[in-house]
Amino acid sequence: MASSEPTAQTSSKLHPATHMGAATLAVADLARSVDFYTRVLGMKAFSRDAGAKTATVGVGGTPLFHLQEIPNARRQPQYSTGLYHVAILVPSRPDLGRVILNMAREKYSLSGASDHFVSEALYLDDPDGNGLEIYRDRPRDEWKWNGSEVVMGTNQLDIDGIIESVGDTESPFNGMADGTMIGHMHLRVGDIPKAESFYVSLFGFDIVAKWRGALFISAGRYHHHLGLNTWHSQGAPRPPADSVGLRQYTIIVPDGDSRDQIVARLKGAGITSEPRDADVLVDDPWGNQIRLIPEKI
């Protein structure tokens, strides 16, 4: 049956300098989460509001996570849309090695580790089961492309080689390196064609890879700024309001004109957005809230 929804071929494209910003996560125990993100991962606590039960953690001067406590919150159901993982990009291979060494010292377990050809990645859950990836990119001139699609896969990660790149493995861990950022978001969605319509045709991302049940999209020929999958969520409901998980994530565009072009495309499709000073809030079809931020006004 033919779809009346807009297609990728008719979309306007995002500015190539578009990138990701901080993610907001709901957690069950704020103190426990702040301890994990600072002690185990090596971030710094920038602010904490005991009354509002919120905290912000990050690296250097860059906020990476806004944490919101929901006391006694339950785990996100496996069959639901929402967060798959937040991916933290470190600047170099030795920086990734230093994180591995500190997690080993803290006896914190990984849930996986993979070589994706374009990157080397660790996978783990925070204390509430919120999925995280910590990765380093290979240089772009080492990425391979098949036309407009980047070649990604899943091979065994050379953890020994990553640790060897550190040099002095006994040196103290001084935290995640300056320059660490949110590299991409990976979301559970309920339908891939609907995700493509919203994120590609309206928002303006480019498709860079398609796997069975998954879509990878980006701006500026990055390997992906967003992963969207239905592996455990085809037709699934949103997670309950009293569960942990993603509350908001950030897309940063270069300027106000870039923001306004996206808002106009969304408005033309009947999708409302909410201005917040220079920023704009909009929900995707599964209620994942996006904060659209212009880097310059």
Domain ranges in the chain are 8-19+69-296
Give the 3-state secondary structure percentages of the chain, helix then strand then coil, rounded to 5: 20, 40, 40
40 CB neighbour count, 10 Å cutoff: 19
Q: pLDDT exceeding 90 applies to what percent of the chain? A: 93
Say how far apart CA 175 and CA 64 lie, in whole Å.
14
Q: What is the mean pLDDT of residues 68-88?
A: 96
Instruction: Say which CATH architecture domain 8-19+69-296 belongs to.
Output: Roll (3.10)
Mean pLDDT of all residues in the chain? 95
> Exposed e or buried b for every residue in 222-245, given b needs 16+ CB within 10 A?
bbbbbbbbbeebeebebbeeebbb
| Res. 137: pLDDT tops 90 | yes
List pLDDT tens digits, range 206-224.
Answer: 999 999 999 999 999 999 9
| Res. 5: pLDDT tops 50 | no
Q: What is the pLDDT of residue 106?
A: 97
DSSP, collapsed to helix, strand or coil, labels residue 196 as helix
Q: What does 57-126 look like in DSSP terms, one character per residue?
A: EEETTEEEEEEEE-TTPBPPPSSSSEEEEEEEEPSSHHHHHHHHHHHHHTTPPPSEEEE-SSEEEEEEE-
pTM for the model: 0.94
Q: Are 106 and 173 in contact (CB under 8 A)?
A: no
Q: What is the mean pLDDT of residues 63-82?
A: 96
Q: What is the pLDDT of residue 52?
A: 87
List pLDDT tens digits, range 239-280.
Answer: 999 999 999 999 999 999 999 999 999 999 999 999 999 999
Lowest mean pLDDT among 48-57, 183-192, 194-203: 48-57
Say how far apart CA 44 and CA 26 lie, in whole Å.
18
Sequence letter at residue 254: P
